[in-house]
Structure formats: C-alpha cells, structure tokens
Amino acid sequence: MGPKSLLGFPELEQAERYCLNLVNFPSDAGVTAMTGNANDMPMFGDASFDLVMSNATLEHDRHFWLSISEMQRVTKPGGLLVIGVPGYVKGGDTGPGRDRGLRTVTHRVHYRFDYYRFSEQAVREVFFAGMDDVEVSAMLIPPRIIGHGRKPAKGSS
C-alpha cells in the first residue's frame, strides 16, 4: 500500500500531498516526495496539514516518540492524525470472530531495523496524548493497531 492507495479518498482529491522518506524517492501521481527523517521535520511549519498519516513506520524508528511529536506539531488544530503500527493484544482480541485464545502473537522479524511492537494502550495513551476524539482498534493476526485523533482546536481544552 503506497501513497496512491492511502490518499485515494475522494475528499482528498484537491489536497496537496507529501510523503517523507529516509532515501530519495520519486514524486508520483500528485504526491511530492521529500527526503528527510520524521524525528525532525523543519521543512514543514507548525500546523501545516489537515491530515497526517503514518502506516507501518514507527516500529522501524529508534526514536518513534520524536516522530510522533513532529507529526502532532505539523497537524493543524482540528486536523486528523492517523497512525498504524504492528502490535500485540491480550487474549487474541483482533476483531469479531477472531478470538483464538492467544495471549500474544510473535513472528520472525522480516526487516532490518524492526525495533518495536505496540499495545492498544500505548497507541491510545502515548501516541495520541493530548488529542481529542481518539479511537484505537486492533485487527488481523498478527495484530495491526490503527488509531486516529484530532488535534485540539485553538482555545479548546
């Protein structure tokens, strides 16, 4: 799944689209590719984006908390932050009809620099700390934890 599929929502047709990659990556299909590290994104000003998405990247980020802070910084007040990560769940709870009584699901690491797995609680309480309308759920086996939250509007709290 790449930027085309993740950003293919009709509501986003006219949106400016950027992707950030550690290595040079060609721009394509209306997506401007930029080279950089999400731990520090000075190329984007504060409150630059209505929507910030990260999928299957933070487990490879030694300092994922810096990237989360930067994602929150560049999200506009009222904007949406969406994060997907591999995780683990208690009791095999990965959605309706999928309870197989598993306590955790582990697998062989397939990629270099694969450091972390996250719980729903970590995604909810750490990734989306200080955000509004937070929703987090687990799906699939091994589990993928998907969450989203809105950056509080200015003046709200």
Quick: pLDDT tens for 10-58.
767 788 889 998 888 888 878 899 999 999 999 999 999 999 999 999 9
Average pLDDT rounded to a whole number, residues 147-151: 97
The answer to whether residues 64 and 87 touch, using CB atoms and an 8 Å cutoff, is no
The helix (run of H) or strand (run of E) holding residue 74 is: helix 64-74
The Cα–Cα gap between 93 and 27 comes to 39
How many C-beta neighbours within 10 Å does residue 84 have? 20
Q: Are 142 and 59 in contact (CB under 8 A)?
A: no
Q: Domains of the chain by range and CATH? A: 1-36 (no CATH), 42-150 (3.40.50.150)
pLDDT at 117: 93
Mean pLDDT to the nearest integer, 93-104 = 51
Instruction: Give the C-alpha separation, 52 to 58, whole Å.
Output: 14
85: part of which helix (H) or strand (E)?
strand 75-86
Dihedral in degrees, nearest 10, Cα atoms 105, 7, 3, 98:
10
Confidence at residue 103, expressed as pLDDT on a 0 to 100 scale: 45
Percent of the chain topping pLDDT 70: 78
Residue 149: pLDDT over 90: yes
Mean pLDDT confidence for 110-131: 91
The number of helices, as runs of H, and strands, as runs of E, in the chain is 3, 6
Of 134, 154, 138, whose CA–CA distance to 146 is shortest?
Answer: 138
Query: Based on the number of CB atoms within 10 Å of its own CB, is 45 exposed (0-12), middle (13-18) or buried (19 or more)?
Result: exposed
Q: How far apart are CA 119 and CA 85, in angstroms?
A: 9
Question: Which H or E run contains 64?
Answer: helix 64-74
Residues forming a β-bridge with 18: 32
Q: What is the pLDDT confidence band of residue 155, given thresholds at 50, 70 and 90?
A: confident
Enter the pTM of the model.
0.82
Q: Which residue has the higher pLDDT, 35 or 91?
A: 35
pLDDT at position 2 is: 45
pLDDT of amino acid 23: 87
Query: Which amino acid is located at 137 in the chain?
Result: S
